[in-house]
Structure 1
């Protein structure tokens, strides 16, 4: 049985939300996407929504997968999903982490990412580029 860890590529107005680890000590200060472990009997989407409520104090809508599975060990895998805020005016806050930060495409390489999250940066870039393009097209049509 493989344990699944889910993460949110949470995007708002062409920017991605990242959170800075407070613990464990060896990862304190590194950045990651919000998320956590899928509990028994829980869908991946429900787990991600729960984790975002617990870690960021916001409700999210979960979309499709972003990137491929990232192995985290012999029986653990990381899966990232696109997500958006249910109420776009809500501001995520660092409940269990040191900080949260909205990042544009040019900011992604400025952070010390956890290794598994760093592997997914190319897929996240594609998501952000598509999000920004959609946003620009919608604004141009006004």
Structure 2
């Protein structure tokens, strides 16, 4: 079995958390998530979340802490174990969200309570807890 490592970030602006939605036709299309992605070989997870956040949202961020880590078996049944770390983030400077249309088709800022109805993976939901 192989291991895959992911890093995601929770960014709060004005009391609301940034969520992005996977575009239809993509893996888990239509599902909401926190921005982030795959850790590249030799890359620290904290570096990954900063890089992925910029690629997916156009925002420059820095890591301020870790929100949690979770592991699970691949949802498509491949012989792979997924390991995800969610980080707390702060903006270097507030800016406009600019999505990569190849990956995501919408973004929204929600409070933890407002996000209760979103289709989120458990590791994202756990990261919303204070």
- Could you tell me how far 1:25 is from its partner in structure 2? 4.2
> Aligned partners of 2:34, 2:71: CA distance in 1, in Å?
13
Higher helix residue share: 1
Q: Structure 1: state its 5+ residue gaps.
A: 127-142
1:123 is displaced (CA, Å) by 3.6
The total of aligned residue pairs comes to: 122
TM-score, length-scaled by structure 1: 0.76
Say which of 73, 81, 100 aligns to 1:75.
Answer: 81
SS at match of 1:105: coil
Gap change, CA 1:28 and 1:120, over 3 Å in 2: closer
Structure 2 residue ranges without an equivalent (≥5):
75-79
Alignment correspondent of 1:92 = 97
What is the root-mean-square deviation of aligned Cα atoms in Å?
A: 1.9
Match of 2:42, SS state, is coil
Residue in structure 1 matched with residue 10 of structure 2 by the alignment: 9
> What CA distance in whole angstroms lies between the structure 1 residues aligned with 2:33 and 2:73?
14
Match of 1:109 in 2: 116
Q: TM-score, normalised by structure 2?
A: 0.82
The runs of at least 4 aligned residues of structure 1 exceeding 6 Å deviation read none
The worse-fitting range, judged by mean Cα deviation, of 69-78 and 79-88 is 69-78
